[in-house]
Chains A and B, each alone.
Chain A
Amino acid sequence: MDLQILTYLVVGASFALYIGIAFWARAGSTGEFYAAGRGIHPVANGMATAADWMSAASFISMAGLIAFKGYDASVFLMGWTGGYVLLAMLLAPYLRKFGKFTVPEFIGDRFYSSTARIVAVVCLIVASITYVIGQMKGVGVAFSRFLEVDATVGLLIGSVIVFLYAVQGGMKGITYTQIAQYCVLIVAYTIPAVFISLELTGTAFPQIGLFANHVESGVPLLTKLDTVVQELGFTQYTAQAGGTLNMTLYTLSLMIGTAGLPHVIIRFFTVPKVADARWSAGWALVFIALLYTVAPGVGAMARLNITDTIYPNGIQGEALAYDERPDWFKNWETTGLLTFEDKNGDGRIQYYNDKATAGDGNLIDPTWAGNELKVDRDIMVLANPEIAQLPNWVIAIVAAGGLAAALSTAAGLLMAISSAVSHDLLKGTFMPNMSEKSELLAARISMGVAIAIAAWLGLNPPGFAAQTVALAFGLAASSIFPALMMGIFSTRINNVGATCGMLAGLLSTLAYIFAFKGFLFIPGTELFANTTANHFLGIAPEAFGAVGAAINFGVAYAVTSVTAETPKHIKELVHSVRVPRGAGAAVDH
């Protein structure tokens, strides 16, 4: 069947499923809208959390990032999974026991301060909005590449789908759609990965294939890859290029940032018991690991596939003639994500690191006039089925998978944003006498408005949209995670201490990011060029969240020690969140 029709059918079927869920899972109370009635099974919640967490970036960009960064990309693999250990042991069970609906609500109650609650709301909204813009753009890109629909139209279709189930069903609708979306995205990710692993290494499991022998050359895949990329003047694939301190702090920042992201934390409010919250974090990581342990294999094999395509007879042989380029190459050229410029005018594609110095173990020909091929890392996963010449239905499923990954994360983020607006700002701060019925209506309206704003920002992305990682993880790591942890593990930290700590963590991290990336990411306003030599102790802006968190802890303890003691009823609250007994009471909250 024609690829176009097949893609429409597969994507259309997945959308019909999501809409069906929207009509079936209607939320009747705020408890259902905010926390799905706290009736989600821990395995089901684990699956929903995996879809909630794995965004367009995990699905589309991560393997490409690994392909081009090799060992140094391990920070993403360890950072984005290690956070679940922290969630399971330091946050999720206790916040579930607390039994309320939002993250800022815990911070406001525990630190008996509406200022602290507002600071948390601001961090939540900035982090989540930055993140959601990337998802909306991802929806547009997937539509335009696979369905040949204008990106704007694609983005609007995506927004309408999310609107249908998120406004109707709140967390309840989002949960069941995320479960369906997880199934679509994991199938879409796994099938091409298995085929490519079979083709290159003869084993079906990319986790094993990565460390197996390369069939064609008979040497281990990674040895082959190290050799090939070194011959092209790049750093060896398995070698460490960046600094050790930076790599350690980057990993730690992503871990605590993951644990502190509100849209992930609120998923654990939907399970019935404290013990379920612990199990559920484990199941979430099982479902995440199904993609995250495959991604390194996909990255390495995709990198090898690209070089093999460009140099069919090895690096010393003739490079691929531009006129003989394969069809997938042409398809991706039209998107602008793959570009060729014949600098030496020989009609062949020379792809190499033109910044490498000759005689560094590389085989770069002195007659080459510069690298002629630019490959956007985002195409590695999406183009994989075409590069490996897989059947059309695989390409159709990959399109549906990319859309599922983007839509599921967008809905989770919109849920966090709208509950912060209706529950923390309206009900909690400005209109405390609101009835449950009006709060439910307010929650639906905030959801609708949040979707409209997200769609608008997706169409008109501000300059900072590409800085999702630095901004969202920096804010979550430096302000939200430490506040939550101190709120649970210390009875002493008081209102002033926590608020000062959050502000100190937040402002120091923002100052560091802005110093290298420009004030509000406006080009030209940066104080220093964003290079390793300029970074304080070599710490990149993306890796600074952990330092901001340390500042937060330090300031909170120092300020607490010179201000009034925590009241007795707050200490009792802390003691009560520490023991599971009595969590059932919160089901009817």
Chain B
Amino acid sequence: MADSEQNSPADNAYWATNIKIVTSFLVIWAFVSFGLGILLRPLLSGISVGGTDLGFWFAQQGAIYVFLILIFVYAAVMNLVDKKFDVQED
């Protein structure tokens, strides 16, 4: 995806950093929802949470809380990254 021949090296470095951050955040996004909420639920059925198991909690509550944290941390991290690469808005 990163074919950026006509672009300034600083902007390319900024974009490469963004891609790394987005990728790692989306791994967590997929892990809590598809992972803990659906695919790994049978493996975690031993961990009980209020009358059911951890997988059910993630599927109906936990995943949403993690999504929230991910977006706010991403927004905060990107503000720092924008400044570091000097691409922030005025």
Contacts and interface: CB of A to CB of B under 8 A. Distances in A.
Contacts of B90: 584
Q: Max chain B CB contacts within 10 Å: which of A88, A89, A275?
A: A89
Interface string A56-95: 0000000000100001001001100110110011100100
A207 B65 CA distance: 11
A212 B50 CA distance: 6
Interface string B19-60: 000100110010001100111010000000111110011011
Size range of the interface on B? Answer: 35 or more
Contacts of B7: 571-572, 575
A575 B12 CA distance: 9
Contact of B64 (A93, A255, A292, A580): A292
Given A222-B51, A222-B52, A289-B64, A275 B89 contact: yes
A71 B59 CA distance: 8
Nearest to A237: B52
Which residue, of B3, B60, B61, B64, has the highest number of chain A Cβ atoms within 10 A? B60
A581 B88 contact: yes
A286 B33 CA distance: 17
Interface in A282-320: 282, 285-286, 289, 292-293, 296
A580 B72 CA distance: 17
A572 B6 contact: yes
B67 to A, nearest CB: 5
A89 B26 contact: yes
From B14, B59, B90, residue with most partner A Cβ within 10 Å: B59
Looking at chain A's contact residues, the main secondary structure is helix
A78 B63 contact: yes
Given A77-B60, A275-B75, A211 B52 contact: yes
Interface in A204-251: 207, 210-212, 219-224, 226, 238, 240, 244, 247-248, 251
Contacts of B25: 85, 89
Contacts of A219: 51
B4 A575 contact: yes
Contact of B33 (A78, A223, A224): A78
Interface stretch (A23-31, A470-478, A484-492, A530-538): A484-492
B68 A584 contact: no
A74 B15 CA distance: 34
Contact of B15 (A71, A85, A578): A578
Nearest to A568: B6
B84 to A, nearest CB: 13
A491 B27 CA distance: 24
A220 B51 CA distance: 5
Given A85-B71, A90-B22, A285-B68, A581 B50 contact: no
Nearest to A89: B22
Given A85-B26, A579-B14, A275 B79 contact: yes
A273 interface: yes
13 contacts: A211-B51, A211-B57, A238-B51, A244-B39, A247-B38, A251-B33, A255-B33, A289-B64, A491-B4, A575-B7, A580-B88, A584-B89, A584-B90
Interface of A: 66, 71, 74, 77-78, 81-82, 84-85, 88-90, 93, 207, 210-212, 219-224, 226, 238, 240, 244, 247-248, 251-252, 255, 273-275, 278-279, 281-282, 285-286, 289, 292-293, 296, 489-492, 568, 571-572, 575, 578-584
Given A77-B63, A572-B7, 7 more contacts: A77-B60, A78-B64, A210-B60, A251-B33, A251-B38, A273-B89, A571-B7
Identify the 9 closest CB pairs spanning chains A and B, nearest first.
A211-B50, A220-B51, A74-B59, A222-B51, A282-B71, A278-B75, A223-B51, A296-B60, A238-B52
